[in-house]
Amino acid sequence: MKLAILVFDRFTDLDVFMPWDLLNRVSRFHLHPDWTVKLVGTDDHHTSENGLTIPMSAGLSYLAEADAVLIGSGPGLQKLIGVETFLDELKRLLDPERQLIGSMCSGSLLLAKLGLLEGRKATTYPTRVKQLAAMGIEVVADQPFVKQGRIATAAGCLAALDLSRWMIEELTSPEIAAKAIATVQPNGV
pLDDT digits (tens, 9 = 90+) for 10-22: 999 999 999 999 9
Helix H, strand E, coil C: the string for 117-158 is CCCCEECCCHHHHHHHHHCCCEECCCCCEEEECCEEEECCHH
pLDDT category of residue 106 using cuts at 50, 70 and 90? very high
Domain residue spans of the chain: 2-182
Q: What is the mean pLDDT of the chain?
A: 97
Q: What is the pLDDT of residue 19?
A: 98
The predicted pLDDT at position 17 comes to: 97
Q: Angle between the 13-28 and 174-182 helix axes, to the nearest 10 degrees?
A: 110
Q: Which amino acid is at 19?
A: P
Residue 4 has pLDDT above 90, yes or no: yes
Rounded to an integer, the average pLDDT of 149-163 is 97
pLDDT of the residue at 188: 81
Which pLDDT score, from 0 to 100, does residue 61 have?
98
Is 2-182 in CATH node 3.40.50.880? yes
Nearest Cα neighbor of 59 from 70, 43, 72 is: 43
| pLDDT-based confidence at residue 109 (cuts at 50, 70, 90) | very high
Task: Give, as one character, the DSSP assignment of residue 62.
Answer: G
Q: Please determine, for residue 189, whether its predicted confidence score (pLDDT) is greater than 80.
A: no
- The HSE-up count of residue 5 (CA atoms within 13 Å, CB side) is 31
pLDDT at 47: 98
Residue 71 and residue 77: Cα distance in Å, rounded? 10
pLDDT of residue 67: 98
**DSSP 8-state code for residue 41:** E
Q: Which ranges of the chain would DSSP assign to H, the alpha helix?
A: 13-28, 77-80, 84-93, 107-113, 129-134, 160-171, 174-182
| pLDDT, tens only, 115-139 | 999 999 999 999 999 999 999 999 9
pLDDT tens, residue by residue, 27-86: 999 989 899 999 999 999 999 999 999 999 999 999 999 999 999 999 999 999 999 999
